[in-house]
Amino acid sequence: MNATHDADATHQTASTKRAKSTRSESEKSVGRCLVGSLPVELLHIILSSTTPRDILALARTNKYFCATLVNPAHAGIWKKARSQFPLTIPEPTPNFTEPAYAAFLFDHGVCEECGKKVKLMYASFAIRLRLCDKDPCRDRWKASKGTSLVGAGEMFYQDRYNSILEWAPSLEYNNFGLPPSNGVGSMIHPPSLEITVRKVDLAEYTNEYNKAALDEDDMKEYAKQKTALVLRNKSWMKLCKALVVWRNMCTTHAQKIVAANFALAKVVAIQEGWVLWDMLQSRTFGSLYRSRNISWLKVDHDDLVSIRPELEAELLQIKETLKRRTDEKEYSKRRKDVESFYHSVKGEDDAGVLPPLSEFRKLPMVQRMQYKIGHEPSKGVAKELKSSQLVRELVKEDLGRWRDEAKVSLGAILGFKGWKSASTNKLHPVDRLTARFRCKKCDSKPGPRQRDVPSFDFAGACGHVCTGNNGRLAKDGWTADRFVPDSKAIDVVAQVLRECGSNSDDGKSIETVKKLGSRIICTSCPARLRMDFRTLLHHCHRHEGPAIEVLPEDEVDATVPVEYGLRAKLLQKEAEMERRRR
C-alpha cells in the first residue's frame, strides 16, 4: 500500500512540476551587463578616469546607474572626472549639483529657430539658449526673439526699469561668442553697452515690476528680493562668460583632434595603398575613428596595429563589393544598349522575322557584346553596335541561324517534321497561309482574357511574349513547344484557298488572298457578315465548324464589312467608345 501511495505521489509531483525554461542561443550569447555588479568603490575608480560626459551617458542607461551616480554621496566621481578633463572646466556656482552641471554643459538639444537637432553646447549659457551653427538662425533669433537694450539705436523704455538689467540674465556676448560660419571674424567681441535678453523674459520682468510698483510695501519687498538676485546674477554671468570661453576652446580642441585623426588615416591609407574613403567607412576603423572624434581622443599607430588584420580583410571585402557593383552597373548599361539595338533592328524595313528580346540576347554575338569589357566600360557598347558593320553582319548571321531552327521546330508542330523540297516555288510549311499557331500558355488563362488570345503566323509566333510573364516563364525563355496548331484558323484558311482555286504551298497564294479584300462571307453566322482575311482569322474562333464563301469580284454585297479590330476598340474604357457601344 505504501509503495502504491509513493508511486502515485511521484507521478503527481512529476505532472505538476514546472517545466524547465530554455533559452535560445541568441539569448544566451547576449548575457547581462556586468558593470552593474561592480562594487561602488571599484566603479568610482573606473569612472574617475573618464569624463563627465561619459558618466552622464552611463547614468542615463538604466535606473540603477541613475540612482547610484546621482546620489550626492557619489559626487566625488563627478568632481574627479571634471578635474581630469583635458580642458579645465570652470567651477560651478553653488546652485548646481555635479550631475546637473554635467548635463548643463554636455547635453544636446534642438535649435530654437530651425528645429534641427544639434549636438552643440548652449549658444548662451546664461539664458540657456541653444542654436545651430548657422549664422541665419542666430540673426533671426536676435531679430524676432531677442531684445537689445541700451545702445544700438534703441534706448531702454524708462529709467525706472534700469534696475532690472542688474539682475536679469542676458547674452554673454552680442555675437554669442561664436565664430561666424565663414570663419572670418573674432569669436569674442569686445565689451559693449548693448545688452540682449529674451523678449518674453523682458515682458515678464517689466510686468512684475509694474505690479510691485502699485503698492509701497510690495515695492519694498520686491527690491529686497532683487537685491539678492543682483549678487547672484553677477556670479552667474561671470561663470557663463567663462563657460563661453571654455566652450570655444573645446570647439577648437575638437577640430584639431578630428584634423589629426584624419591626417593619420590619410597617411596610413597612402602608405598601405588603401582607399581613404573605404577605410573611413569600414566597420573596424570607421567605428574607432568616429568614437575617438566624439570623445576628443587621438587615434595612434598602436590602435591601427591591433586592428590591422580585421581592417585589411574588411577593406578587401569592400573592394570586391564595389567591383561587383561597378560590374553590375556596366553590365546593365550594356544590356540597355543591346535593347536599343534590338529595337533599331526591329524598325528596319528588311528586319525579317525576329525573336523576342530575351532570345535576341542569347545570340552568340549579342552575348559577347553584353558581357564585353572594353577600355571604357562605363560608356557601354552602343557605339560599336551602331557603327560597326562587322558586328551587324555577325548578328544577322546569328539571326539567320535562329530563324532556320525556329522553322524546323515550328514546322514539326504543324506536322512537317524534317520537311525538305528541291523546288524553289513551294513555300516552306511555316511560310504558308495555313501556318497558324496558338500559345498553350495564353490559352490556359481563365476568364474572358482567353478570347483575346490571337492566332499567330510564323513571324508572330517567333516574336510572341506571354502577357503577365512571371519569373519562371521568363527564365524558361522562348520555345516552340509552347505553341500548337490553330486548327480552326487552318481549316478556314484552307476553305478560302479552295474558293480561290489555289494551294497553300503555292507562292502566289499570298497575293491571291490579299486581292480578295472584304469579299469573304461567314456562312456560319445567322447574318451575312462580310469581312477581310485578317478579320476572318479572329472571327473563325466564334464557331465550332466555321464555313465561308467568297463573293465574285463582279458581285456587289449590300452589307457593310466588319471593321478590323472593332471589338477591341469598343471594349476600350474611353468616353467615345462608351458612346459607340450605346
Read off the pLDDT of residues 6-29 as tens digits, 9 standing for 90 and up: 444 444 444 455 555 555 555 555
Q: Is the pLDDT of residue 482 over 70?
A: yes
Q: Which three-class secondary structure state does DSSP give residue 188?
A: coil
More reliable by pLDDT, 24 or 239: 239
What pLDDT does residue 125 have? Answer: 94
What pLDDT does residue 470 have? Answer: 55
Best-predicted range by mean pLDDT (43-47, 310-314, 557-561): 310-314
pLDDT digits (tens, 9 = 90+) for 319-335: 999 999 988 988 888 88
pTM score: 0.64
Per-residue pLDDT band for 411 (boundaries 50, 70, 90) equals very high
Q: What is the mean pLDDT of residues 427-447?
A: 85
Last residue of a domain, one of 65, 88, 107: 107
Show the 3-state SS of 439-490.
EHHHHCCCCHHHHHCCCECHHHHHCCCCCCCCHHHHHHCCCHHHEEECHHHH
87 close to 246: Cβ distance less than 8 angstroms = yes
Q: Which three-class secondary structure state does DSSP give residue 330?
A: helix
Q: Is the pLDDT of residue 448 over 60?
A: no
Q: What is the mean pLDDT of residues 537-558?
A: 81
Range of the domain at 37: 33-107
d(CA 333, CA 379): 8
Q: Is the pLDDT of residue 530 over 50?
A: yes
Last residue of a domain, one of 81, 107, 133: 107
pLDDT digits (tens, 9 = 90+) for 188-227: 554 556 788 899 998 899 898 889 888 888 888 888 888 8
More reliable by pLDDT, 435 or 6: 435
In a domain, 191, yes or no: no
What pLDDT does residue 8 have? Answer: 47
Per-residue pLDDT band for 157 (boundaries 50, 70, 90) equals very low
Q: What is the mean pLDDT of residues 487-508?
A: 88
Q: What is the mean pLDDT of the chain?
A: 83
What pLDDT does residue 573 have? Answer: 63
Q: Is the pLDDT of residue 309 over 60?
A: yes
d(CA 525, CA 542): 9
Q: What is the mean pLDDT of residues 338-362?
A: 88
Find all residues with CB under 8 Å of 39, minimum gap 6, and list them: none
Q: What is the mean pLDDT of residues 401-421?
A: 91
In a domain, 341, yes or no: no
What pLDDT does residue 454 have? Answer: 77
pLDDT digits (tens, 9 = 90+) for 62-104: 899 999 999 999 999 999 999 989 899 999 999 999 999 999 9
Q: Is the pLDDT of residue 3 over 50?
A: no
Per-residue pLDDT band for 577 (boundaries 50, 70, 90) equals low
Which residue, among 568, 577, 563, has the nearest Cα to 529 in the 3D structure?
Answer: 563
Half-sphere exposure of 549 (CA within 13 A, CB side): 8
Q: How far is CA 330 from CA 334, 372, 382, in A?
A: 6, 10, 12
Q: What is the mean pLDDT of residues 47-59?
A: 90
More reliable by pLDDT, 380 or 274: 274
Domain count, the chain: 2
In a domain, 344, yes or no: no
Which residue, among 96, 90, 101, has the nearest Cα to 53 in the 3D structure?
Answer: 101
In a domain, 346, yes or no: no
In a domain, 87, yes or no: yes
Going 348 to 350 to 356 to 361, the CA torsion angle's sign is negative
Which residue, among 133, 331, 127, has the nearest Cα to 237 in the 3D structure?
Answer: 127
What pLDDT does residue 234 have? Answer: 92
What pLDDT does residue 7 have? Answer: 45
Q: What is the mean pLDDT of residues 299-315?
A: 92
pLDDT digits (tens, 9 = 90+) for 133-144: 888 998 899 889
Q: Is the pLDDT of residue 388 over 80?
A: yes
Last residue of a domain, one of 68, 87, 107: 107
Per-residue pLDDT band for 34 (boundaries 50, 70, 90) equals confident
What pLDDT does residue 537 have? Answer: 87
289 close to 299: Cβ distance less than 8 angstroms = yes
Q: What is the mean pLDDT of residues 418-437?
A: 88
What pLDDT does residue 152 have? Answer: 38
Per-residue pLDDT band for 277 (boundaries 50, 70, 90) equals very high
More reliable by pLDDT, 467 or 426: 426
